[in-house]
């Protein structure tokens, strides 16, 4: 079982390599793949080192699975090249997510759609992943009619440059800006790029990807994405209106019984999900679960997850695990 991690020198790529070890993934060989400027660099891995190789060399080695976290342009250029030599690609960028013939997968929700013929598999946006893990069992039981989500996204979701901007600002250092404004002691209602309709690309992803993963184009969804000065972990305030009414205790039980979810909902003791506590963990944390008193059949909840792990690397590794377990590679 040969695994290539494309984008191994980036934030998510580094987490992917660590997770292969943490989760005891059954690899026989791991290739660290990155851009030409990183070729020859060494990465500590499994009490040894990996020498970074280029994409063309990685393709020639015909890995069984290639996990991409190197940006959309790289994925569009090279994913099919890997697929053409028989490699199954799991792509973490937005490049393939909305292609009609490409599966968009969150393993707890819809891994069953995967087949041996799927040579390119899309990993959803980090914000979408954590939200649909919580929404899927509720949609199955009560059927979602409308969804309103506001996100509070950490700087790690914007890459190393954004992390450095926050660190520099905290330390009073002038440096390169990942955002158009300071992020320290600030909230920036701007994720991705603005579209003609006034929404951002990050907001549009939440709409389109949620519908695709839940396989329901009739869900009305609106989103607002905000960047906040947090290093690890995205948070979301979710308001959902169902077709059918619900019992609040039943909702909590459904969420508690769902794989990958930890319910933290004890407001009397100040227990609720926070990114500080979610960082470094793989679960999706749900709390502040309460009925919307302004509208019938509607629910409010707060959902938090580590965006580098479940929001990216863990989800991709879980897809790979599913492929191996079900002999799809």
Q: Encode pLDDT of 205-257 as tens digits.
A: 999 999 999 999 999 999 999 999 999 899 999 999 999 999 999 999 999 99
pLDDT at 232: 87
CATH number for the domain harbouring residue 111: 3.40.50.720
Domain count, the chain: 2
Q: Is the pLDDT of residue 77 over 90?
A: yes
Could you tell me if 111 and 165 lie in one domain? no
Could you tell me if 93 and 231 lie in one domain? no
234, 223 Cβ separation under 8 angstroms: no
Catalytically active residues, by annotation: 126, 234
CATH number for the domain harbouring residue 197: 3.30.360.10
Question: By residue range, what is the domain housing residue 29?
Answer: 2-124+312-325
pLDDT at 250: 98
Could you tell me if 36 and 161 lie in one domain? no
Residues in Cβ contact with 247 at an 8 Å cutoff, skipping those fewer than 6 apart: none
Could you tell me if 172 and 226 lie in one domain? yes
Could you tell me if 165 and 290 lie in one domain? yes
Burial 114-123 (b: 16+ CB within 10 A, else e): beeebbbbbb
Could you tell me if 83 and 160 lie in one domain? no
Could you tell me if 254 and 184 lie in one domain? yes
Could you tell me if 151 and 85 lie in one domain? no
pLDDT at 107: 97
Phi first, then psi, for residue 147 (nearest 5°) are -135, 130
Could you tell me if 9 and 66 lie in one domain? yes
pTM score, two decimals? Answer: 0.96
CA 206 to chain centre: 11
pLDDT at 187: 98
The C-alpha R_g of the chain, in whole angstroms, comes to 20
Mean pLDDT, residues 138-160 taken together: 97
Could you tell me if 137 and 117 lie in one domain? no
- With tokens 């492929």, the residue in question is 323
């Amino acid at each position: 079982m040969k695994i290539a991690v494309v984008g191994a020198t980036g934030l998510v790529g580094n987490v992917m390599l660590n997770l292969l070890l943490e989760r005891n993934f059954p690899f026989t060989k791991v290739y660290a793949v990155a851009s030409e400027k990183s070729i020859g660099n060494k990465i500590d891995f499994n009490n040894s080192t990996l020498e970074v190789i280029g994409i063309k060399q990685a393709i020639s080695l015909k890995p069984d699975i290639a996990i991409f976290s190197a940006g959309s342009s790289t994925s569009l250029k090279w994913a099919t090249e890997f697929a053409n030599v028989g490699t199954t690609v799991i792509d973490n960028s937005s490049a393939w997510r909305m292609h009609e013939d490409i599966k968009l997968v969150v393993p707890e929700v819809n891994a069953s759609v995967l087949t041996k013929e799927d040579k390119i598999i899309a990993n959803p946006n980090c914000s979408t992943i954590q939200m649909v893990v919580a929404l899927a069992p509720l949609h199955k039981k009560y059927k979602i009619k409308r969804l309103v989500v506001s996100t509070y996204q950490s700087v790690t979701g914007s890459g190393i440059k954004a992390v450095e901007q926050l660190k520099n600002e905290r330390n009073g250092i002038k440096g390169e800006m990942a955002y158009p404004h300071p992020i320290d002691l600030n909230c920036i209602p701007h994720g991705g790029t603005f579209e003609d309709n006034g929404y951002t690309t990050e907001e549009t992803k939440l709409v389109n990807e949620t519908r695709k993963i839940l396989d329901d184009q009739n869900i009305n969804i609106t989103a607002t994405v905000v960047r906040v000065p947090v290093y690890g972990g995205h948070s979301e305030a979710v308001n959902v209106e169902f077709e059918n009414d619900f019992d609040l205790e039943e909702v909590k039980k459904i969420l508690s019984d769902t794989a990958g979810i930890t319910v933290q909902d004890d407001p009397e003791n100040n227990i609720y999900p926070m990114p500080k506590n979610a960082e470094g963990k793989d679960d999706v944390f749900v709390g502040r679960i309460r009925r919307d008193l302004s509208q019938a059949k509607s629910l409010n909840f707060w959902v938090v997850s580590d965006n580098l792990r479940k929001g990216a690397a863990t989800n991709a590794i879980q897809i790979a695990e599913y492929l191996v377990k079900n002999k799809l590679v």
